[in-house]
Structure 1
Amino acid sequence: MVRKASKTLRRILQRGLRRATTRWDASVVLIAVCVAMGVACTISGGPVTARIGAALAVICCGAIALGSPERLRDRFGTLLGVLPAIVGLVFLAFVKTAVPALALAFCLLIAIAAWCQDFHAPVPPLVRNLPGADSRSVPQFPATVRAFTRWGLAAGVWGTALCALVGAGTAGFAWGAGWCLAMALPAVIQGVRNRAAGRSIRRALDAYSPVFAMPYAGGAIFHIEMWERYIRAAGLPYIIVTMQERTLDLLAEATDVPIIVPAEASVLAVRETMPASLKAAFYVHNSGLNTLFFAAAPGVVDVFLHHGDGDKQSSSNPKSRKYDILYVAGQGAIDRYAMRGINIPREKFVIGGRPQTETIEVADRGILGLQVPTVLYAPTWAGRPPNDHFSSLPWGPRIVQQLLDRGARIIFRPHPVSRRAHDSRAIIESIEKMLERATATTGIEHIYGAQAETQWGVTEVTNASDAMVSDVSGIVTDYMQSGKPFAMVTTNCTVEQFRAQYPTSRGAYVISLVEPQTMESALDDMFGPDTLHDLRWRQRDYYLGGFNGDLQPSQAFVGLLNELANDQPITLDPSGFNS
């Protein structure tokens, strides 16, 4: 019983202390009570009460130095640095004895130690490819050393408070002060290193004067690669700011543009990576961390590019309301938001087509009569069930077998994320073995593995194919540019339900896995008379903006970049299809 009660009491105390040191209002109350009790004890007179007052003063300083939450320190850092000295002066004003005088001296030392302990906080950002900046990370003291010095400073504060209570006098205060300053020394050394490196990076950023930034909080660099080359085409300096250190070197291998990783996921750290020269930030990933960039650079125009244009929820996320401009491929993207009840003012949208589809070859024909038609099978990744679980990959072997039975050459291109999951990777490997066996039997060379997934992009696999089978995915909209027939797979809807909920499928031959007979009928239609030809071409303009004249999507995008760089009004009708 006693043991259980002691554990309960310890849990309550730990919870209370944690709340007191992480909540702004609780910390203020703790400090205010400490000061009030200390002043009251000191004014009441007598050596015992003076000691209690001095002890409370030290405890108050410790609470300020060690217990203040990040929000409080960020807003009132300078004030918190001098509060211990103010507390000491209050005691000295009321009492002329030695103990309060020592308390004042110790409070001043605590102020210095607390400032030193906080000095290590501004770890500099990591950088690559930034002219004039050292790409090496600043050596940091081990985590064990940092933890020991932090707890050592706390122990010094409380130990000196105890000395004040028992009347240890000058010796107790001297030992406490020396200990606290010693605990702060590693932080001073680290702080000098960090601040020097941070100033160097900031100077290099200011000298580079980027006009644009690409903030990124995702982990797959293909999102950045999809748009970075078109931002480069404007010929204006820009930077990539990634929130994940693991993507830094991957991006550095893919581009020579400056890449920066903020020291931490906080507004202050991100602000250090956003120089005053920035005019616009281009987002390719709708991460919750994007709000850090909004807060860090409020004067910058935030543009959401969408890394794909499909019927998934990620292409019509309510978070998109926060951006200043939504750059979309066609009217279909605007209507998608409205269809899902996401009300965004029309003036926020700019239709610019898909620059990524410019080099896709247009073929105004079906595959009827081709001796060996080439079919691209491009299933999306598993997603996050239940809302974004659209992948047909679990049924992939069955789909591929149907295509093989029709004498097709297969280009197998699973989503890049699919190989990360064990189950998906096993299915991918089984399909590749099927294709290997089929080649040995028929002599038809199928395309899969590195060639289809990394050596070739969407343009190459589209140009090399005569038709496609996919599911709810951005590749469907890109494939529309070719004019070639395609089928879409739904794993949990009837054909009628699927066409109603996912409008990109209205120009597709739909395979419903809940209606097994549609597998053969849809493929028969796609391989046969291609009855959806005319509807598919109308959808092409609806989803891709109708860029059929002299102005190409990449030119429209560069035009937007120049307008943003020169603070010009944004043209809402670059292609004639925005009205």
Structure 2
Amino acid sequence: MTFRWLCGVLRVRGKTDLFLVFLFAAGFAALPVFALLPSLWGFAAASAVTYAVDEVLHTRAPAFVRRLAALQLTRTMRFAVRTVMLLALADRMDAPGAVLVAALAVFSVHLGLVILYTAVHHAIRRRRVLPVVVRNLDMSGAGIPQSPPALLYRRFLRKLLHLDLPAHAGLLTALAAGAWQPAGIGFAVTAGLAVAAVAALLGQLRRARRMPPDDEVIAELNRQLAGYRPEVALYFSFASVSRDFMYQVNMWIETLEQLDRRPLIILRERASFRYLGRTSIPVVCVPKADDVAQLELPELRVVLYPGNAGKNVHMLRVAEAKHVFIGHGDSDKLASSNRVSKVYDEIWVAGRAGRDRYQRVRHAISDSAIVEVGRPQLSSIRLHADHVPGPVPTVLYAPTWEGWSDDDCHTSLIPMGVALVERLLAENVRVLYKPHPLTGKRSRAAAEADRAVRELLRADNERRDARDAQEAEAVIAAARPRLAEIQARLGELSGRLTGDDAQQLRDARVPAGDGEAEWHELRAEWHRLFWESRGPVRHQVIIRQLPTLYACFDQADMLISDVSSVVADFVASLKPYVLTNANDLPDQDFRAAYTTAGGAYLLDRDCTRLPEILRSVREPAHDPMAPERRVLKEYVLGPDRPTSMERFNTAVNALAEKATAEQAERLAEGEEQRVVVGA
């Protein structure tokens, strides 16, 4: 418990990171001690430790580094502490006054140049902030200058502060040798490099002043949009956007790419743009509402919204288009039948269950505004009949997150997650643990339960691998280079560009159209290698984009989850699934409250039903909920024929034609009024 508490307080992930934190603290604590003794070699060793561990922690434990910054122990402050301690050491070792004065002058100049460099860097960065960021449109005509070299521009503070190393090394060498020439050389190198860096960046500032005005950039974007003529737009905004929310957009990309009409993706936050998945669809990120109003989209007929957000109103003003809420999953949560949805022309749901869910919102949503389109994303999920079980049952535990407040807390992780995983391990099953991306972001209790579950799975993996641990690690290590190679190539094929937003806009081009087949082949190979290298019995904690949620579906014999869209999607596989009933409601009441509970096994808070539930996996003939799942699948997700993609495409075409007809009527009425006024 103490270990987990320390990891939580210090924002580190495990024993290695915790050891590095203690080593880091010990190194800084030793600096004043060795400076005052004085002990030259002790100080040199402690200083080297602080330099090295500081860099490692930036990579391994960025959350800990951010915690230090919040306590005003920033990187600059840490460098200043080392410098002050070095000057104290030199004074205690009776260094000549001239050397001390020179050292103080050089370090002061170095710090001043760091401040000047930072000011120039910020000036360049401000000038390079443009009103839009674009992907998959040719923006070469915008006249955006090349970004500064990465050596000068990226992670500049780390590089600049490290220019004090020659001065530090020179002074320490001089103190050891009793000759002061090394100190002079080190001082000269530090000062010279700092001056050269500032001069080089000032030259880049002159180039940044040639950035085009915002109006010209938007005008060039409108010229490109006029050539592309988008008819359907996916519009996404989220106030606290990060990579954790981008699944709401990424899940719709392949569906949009298969539409008959030309699609466009419009994002509102720059952070979301960085986490967009691979697509050939033009993408426009427009952070400001005034700039959204300047987009010229005369042929836009349908706007799709995967989420409810305040910034949606900036697009809802477009009267020529029809506005549709498509959501990002078919869930029984109240948020999936929000009264706010009344602002849209239509609401598209997967099946009859979605329509019935909106009927609960009385006098708000018209039944005629609801259209059943299925879930096109689920076409790749392997059916229960095609699943090949492994040597031990595989259970996917995918709890939802804690919500924005305790009133919204639907997660089983806090009240029963740790006990559930302990019982699963006692039942000798393989656990795939995939928490919601936002788990622990608001609730400390959820974060602690998440860490406890991960530790249980790690310890059980060690127990299972006790006999052949080296062989298991060797297999994983052998697959790691190829997995990394595939991920690097997938990154190239994704269309993501390097550099700041202005550089990405400058380099934006219309995609060549090739690479799609390679993309799918590489993703399939990555998943195959990953699961083969991990073996059929090791537990896995899935927190990255790969493996995907649906790949985890294909591996699992059973899902255990909370009320969420994950359950509705898993229904497509027809495999057994479990809903957690943490409040121990009577089964009848729970099933009446949640549609997806109709085909689920219900698990009580103490998990006493778990052994009996697992019989449906161990003894497939003993699966009393199988008929209920078949009925529920059509009710929740709609019929298999026509396919979801066909129904979704038909709905887009029908609504686009309706919007076109209404616009033609408005134009005809306007023309008639002008004729009457003219007469």
| Normalised TM-score (structure 1) | 0.61
Change in CA separation of 1:522 and 1:363 when aligned onto 2, cut-off 3 Å: closer
Shift of 1:565: 4.4
Which of residues 346, 357, 363 is equivalent to 1:336? 357
Tell me if structure 2 keeps the 8 A contact 1:563–1:569.
Answer: no
Greater relative contact order: 1 or 2 (C-alpha under 8 angstroms, separation 6 or more)?
2
Tell me if structure 1 keeps the 8 A contact 2:410–2:562.
Answer: yes
Matched, 1:437 2:462: no
Tell me if structure 2 keeps the 8 A contact 1:379–1:413.
Answer: yes
Tell me if structure 1 keeps the 8 A contact 2:395–2:432.
Answer: yes
Q: 1:259 & 1:206 partners in 2: Cα distance?
A: 14
Q: 1:135 & 1:504 partners in 2: Cα distance?
A: 51
Aligned to 1:129: 136
Shift of 1:272: 1.8
Spell out the pairing of 1:44-443 with structure 2 (5 A cutoff): 124-132=131-139, 193-218=213-238, 219=241, 220-234=245-259, 236-251=261-276, 254-264=278-288, 266=289, 268-295=290-317, 297-341=318-362, 343-364=364-385, 372-394=392-414, 395-418=416-439, 420=441, 423=444, 424-443=446-465
Matched, 1:534 2:627: yes
Q: 1:137 & 1:126 partners in 2: Cα distance?
A: 12
Q: 2:335 & 2:143 partners in 1: Cα distance?
A: 36
Q: 1:420 & 1:134 partners in 2: Cα distance?
A: 42
Q: 1:231 & 1:366 partners in 2: Cα distance?
A: 29
Matched, 1:462 2:462: no
Corresponding letter in the other structure for 2:263: Y
Change in CA separation of 1:260 and 1:138 when aligned onto 2, cut-off 3 Å: farther
Q: 2:578 & 2:592 partners in 1: Cα distance?
A: 16
Tell me if structure 2 keeps the 8 A contact 1:128–1:258.
Answer: yes
Tell me if structure 1 keeps the 8 A contact 2:248–2:328.
Answer: yes
Which of residues 474, 478, 483 is equivalent to 2:574? 483
Tell me if structure 2 keeps the 8 A contact 1:414–1:453.
Answer: no
Q: 2:407 & 2:443 partners in 1: Cα distance?
A: 21
Higher mean C-alpha deviation, range 422-431 or range 229-238: 422-431
SS at match of 1:456: coil
Aligned to 1:501: 593
Tell me if structure 2 keeps the 8 A contact 1:512–1:518.
Answer: yes
Change in CA separation of 1:546 and 1:453 when aligned onto 2, cut-off 3 Å: farther
Deviations 1:519-545 (A, max 9, x none): 556556776632222122211111010
Change in CA separation of 1:480 and 1:138 when aligned onto 2, cut-off 3 Å: same
Structure having the higher Rg: 1
Higher mean C-alpha deviation, range 328-337 or range 268-277: 268-277
Corresponding letter in the other structure for 1:562: N
Tell me if structure 2 keeps the 8 A contact 1:262–1:270.
Answer: yes
Aligned to 1:543: 636
Shift of 1:210: 1.0
Aligned to 1:558: 649
Q: 1:366 & 1:241 partners in 2: Cα distance?
A: 38
Q: 1:136 & 1:498 partners in 2: Cα distance?
A: 61
Shift of 1:197: 2.2
Q: 2:143 & 2:575 partners in 1: Cα distance?
A: 49
Tell me if structure 1 keeps the 8 A contact 2:392–2:428.
Answer: yes
Q: 1:371 & 1:192 partners in 2: Cα distance?
A: 63
SS at match of 2:570: helix
Corresponding letter in the other structure for 1:341: R
Q: 2:544 & 2:273 partners in 1: Cα distance?
A: 22
Aligned to 1:510: 602
| Normalised TM-score (structure 2) | 0.53
Deviations 1:189-242 (A, max 9, x none): 999822222222222222221111111012221111111211111253322111
Which of residues 524, 538, 544 is equivalent to 1:446? 538
Q: 2:563 & 2:548 partners in 1: Cα distance?
A: 19
Q: 1:137 & 1:490 partners in 2: Cα distance?
A: 57
Deviations 1:279-317 (A, max 9, x none): 11111111122122111x111011111200011122111
Change in CA separation of 1:334 and 1:569 when aligned onto 2, cut-off 3 Å: farther
How many residues end up aligned between the 2 structures? 392
SS at match of 1:195: helix
Deviations 1:468-526 (A, max 9, x none): 1000110111111111111111333513332222221122111232x664555655677
Change in CA separation of 1:356 and 1:475 when aligned onto 2, cut-off 3 Å: same
Q: 1:504 & 1:274 partners in 2: Cα distance?
A: 43
Corresponding letter in the other structure for 1:360: I
Tell me if structure 2 keeps the 8 A contact 1:487–1:511.
Answer: yes
Change in CA separation of 1:381 and 1:133 when aligned onto 2, cut-off 3 Å: farther
Shift of 1:125: 3.0
Change in CA separation of 1:202 and 1:479 when aligned onto 2, cut-off 3 Å: same
Change in CA separation of 1:339 and 1:135 when aligned onto 2, cut-off 3 Å: farther
User: Identity over aligned residues, as a percent?
Assistant: 26
Tell me if structure 2 keeps the 8 A contact 1:509–1:522.
Answer: yes
Q: 2:553 & 2:411 partners in 1: Cα distance?
A: 19
SS at match of 2:137: coil
Shift of 1:430: 2.9
Corresponding letter in the other structure for 1:503: T
SS at match of 1:481: helix
Deviations 1:243-288 (A, max 9, x none): 112112222x633432223251x3x432223511211111111112
| Unaligned residue ranges in structure 2 (runs of 5+) | 1-126, 147-208, 466-535, 662-679
CA RMSD of aligned residues (A): 3.3
Aligned to 2:505: none
Tell me if structure 2 keeps the 8 A contact 1:262–1:273.
Answer: no
SS at match of 2:307: coil
Deviations 1:130-176 (A, max 9, x none): 2236689899xxxxxxxxxxxxxxxxxxxxxxxxxxxxxxxxxxxxx
Q: 1:568 & 1:196 partners in 2: Cα distance?
A: 31
SS at match of 1:417: coil
Corresponding letter in the other structure for 1:376: L
Corresponding letter in the other structure for 1:131: D
Change in CA separation of 1:365 and 1:355 when aligned onto 2, cut-off 3 Å: closer
Change in CA separation of 1:215 and 1:526 when aligned onto 2, cut-off 3 Å: same
Q: 2:135 & 2:390 partners in 1: Cα distance?
A: 50
SS at match of 1:254: coil
